[in-house]
Structure 1
Amino acid sequence: MANAYAVPDGALDAPSETYGSGTLSRVLAEAFGTFVLVLGVLGIGVYSFLNQSGTIGIALTAGFAYAAALIAVGHVSGGWFNPAITLAQAIAGRVPWAEVPLYWIGQLIGGFAAGGLIVATIPDKLHELLGKEDKWDLYAGAANGWGDFSPLSVLSQGGATFNLFQAGIVELIASAALAGIALGAGTKSRGVMAAAGGAGLAVLTVVTYPVTGAGLNPVRSTVAAVFANDWGGVSGQVWLFWVAPLVGAGIAALFAVAFGSQEPDQGVEAFGTEAPEGTYGGDTTEDDVVDTDTDADTDATDKKTD
């Protein structure tokens, strides 16, 4: 008598349907990843006077933080951690438009959680030792800006600086390049995505830091602007660091849609999750599934006959 609960040979090897993570899981993953990224970037920026990290140190921190967060939760949400990149992925059809605001909210929550943690842990007397008005004033050095608030202007004591147009163009082009990297690597494995995204963010940070302090991410810029609390100065310039990255990312996405292939690589599922061969992105057809089932049934019949 045949065992009714026996598993036919080959059945465990047959492709199985996979499901993407739920919306809440994706939003929480974006919040976590943005928290890690902003904590690294603003943490090293606020304490730059202490660690003497310089531009290279800030760039490497940003790149490694992004890569680490993407490896950790990229399989859940895609690993964007940036409203501009999220917009680009939505234009490319990889993120549902209805979820874009939710992603942005999650990213802002993660970013402000990181910023608040930094503020809460700044020693009370530190600002006095550094000649600052208060602990919020420490954030001014990590905020993005142009003109008198450009890092080049500070370093040259006002001798050289970048105006609004120059800062906007640099942020727009750099954000377009960052979004292009994310779009190109977004159908690869998480390892490739982390390497490309982290290296790209690090390089673009080095290029843009003297101009604007390397915005590239509206959440990072907004958190620094809010905690700097200088709305008549550097905080009042935060609008540019939303407009330029979003426009740049949108342009990159439109080029990708118009001239690039939108077909995901084999074995890669939507939102960056890796799927077994034969599921989303694979080459399995209905005939293949039928053949697999037929082979399994045949094997089972042969064993019963024996």
Structure 2
Amino acid sequence: MVGTYFLIFVGCASALMDAHKHNMGIVGVAISWGFIVMVMIYTIGHVSGGHFNPAVTIAFASVGRFPWKSVPAYVAAQVLGSTLACATLRIFYQTKGVYVSMTLPSGTWIESLGWEFIITFLLMFVICGVATDSRAIGKLSGVAVGGTVLFNVLIAGAVSGASMNPARSMGPAFVKGNLENLWIYLVGPTAGAISGAYTYNLLRPIVTPQENEEGKKV
């Protein structure tokens, strides 16, 4: 909950700052999202796994890398953290006429759904590669995941809002009381994350017990 709170607080605050003409631009917003994801992974990843994203939690559970019994608690914590972050931003920004930074499609719903599926597929594929493979360089996992989020915001932010995270979209929607198009950001990221996890499992190199033991020693 704490990790998701700060993720959404910093990420959405950067978008709000840009909306108030502080000249951050899409690059500045993307850097903010990428860096806060990286920082939170290194700060809390060793405590809870650093999911901060219901789609990631569900995807890990779907491939047997996270217990299904823990999914409801994780998702509830993630959504609560996001909602609290957006409620905080609403207090700070209500005098300026902007409450929260919502993810809204700028084109058709199918364009946004497609973008959310693809960029979350990529995000989950990277997460599986750096966080679940014993031969990956674990110390760089935060950099890889944060960098992926940064690139995804750059390429998809102007089209779909580059949510990649149902909790990221649910928090602003709940606080602002606007659930229109929310289903796009529930279905797209969840389907993309599950597909990314299964795809990496199909491509995962076969690791023999000896290789695995050597990897652990290194």
TM range (shorter): 0.7 to 0.9
Q: 2:153 aligns with which of 182, 198, 205?
A: 205
1:242 corresponds in structure 2 to 186
Q: 2:82 aligns with which of 94, 97, 111?
A: 111
1:62 corresponds in structure 2 to 33
1:126 corresponds in structure 2 to 96
Q: Is the 8 A contact 1:143 1:225 kept in 2?
A: yes
User: Which has more radius of gyration?
Assistant: 1
Q: Would you say 1:228 and 2:173 are equivalent positions?
A: no
Letter in structure 2 aligned against 1:121: F
Q: Would you say 1:257 and 2:205 are equivalent positions?
A: no
Letter in structure 2 aligned against 1:197: V
Q: Would you say 1:53 and 2:24 are equivalent positions?
A: yes
| Unmatched segments (≥5 aa) in structure 1 | 1-30, 128-136, 151-161, 269-276, 284-306
User: Which of structure 1's runs of 4+ aligned residues deviate more than 6 A?
Assistant: none
Letter in structure 2 aligned against 1:62: W
Residue 157 of structure 2 aligns to a residue whose secondary structure is helix
Query: Size of the alignment, in residue pairs?
Result: 212
The structure-2 alpha-carbon separation of the partners of 1:109 and 1:262, relative to structure 1 and needing over 3 Å to count, comes to farther
Q: Is the 8 A contact 2:91 2:99 kept in 1?
A: no
Q: Is the 8 A contact 1:82 1:218 kept in 2?
A: yes
| Aligned counterparts of 1:51 and 1:262: Cα–Cα separation in 2 | 50
Q: Is the 8 A contact 1:92 1:262 kept in 2?
A: no
Q: Is the 8 A contact 1:112 1:223 kept in 2?
A: yes
Q: Is the 8 A contact 2:83 2:175 kept in 1?
A: no
**Which of the two has greater helix per residue?**
2
Q: 1:93 aligns with which of 64, 73, 78?
A: 64
| Aligned counterparts of 1:196 and 1:94: Cα–Cα separation in 2 | 20
| Aligned counterparts of 2:2 and 2:92: Cα–Cα separation in 1 | 19
Alignment of 1:29-44 (within 5 A): 31-44=1-14
Letter in structure 2 aligned against 1:118: L
| Aligned counterparts of 1:35 and 1:190: Cα–Cα separation in 2 | 24
Residue 213 of structure 1 aligns to a residue whose secondary structure is coil
Q: Would you say 1:170 and 2:129 are equivalent positions?
A: no
| Aligned counterparts of 2:205 and 2:88: Cα–Cα separation in 1 | 42
| Unmatched segments (≥5 aa) in structure 2 | none
RMSD: 2.5
| Percent pairwise identity | 27
The structure-2 alpha-carbon separation of the partners of 1:80 and 1:125, relative to structure 1 and needing over 3 Å to count, comes to closer
| Aligned counterparts of 1:113 and 1:125: Cα–Cα separation in 2 | 18
TM-score normalised to structure 2 length: 0.88
TM-score normalised to structure 1 length: 0.64
| Aligned counterparts of 1:192 and 1:92: Cα–Cα separation in 2 | 23
| Aligned counterparts of 1:244 and 1:125: Cα–Cα separation in 2 | 33
Q: Is the 8 A contact 2:79 2:167 kept in 1?
A: yes
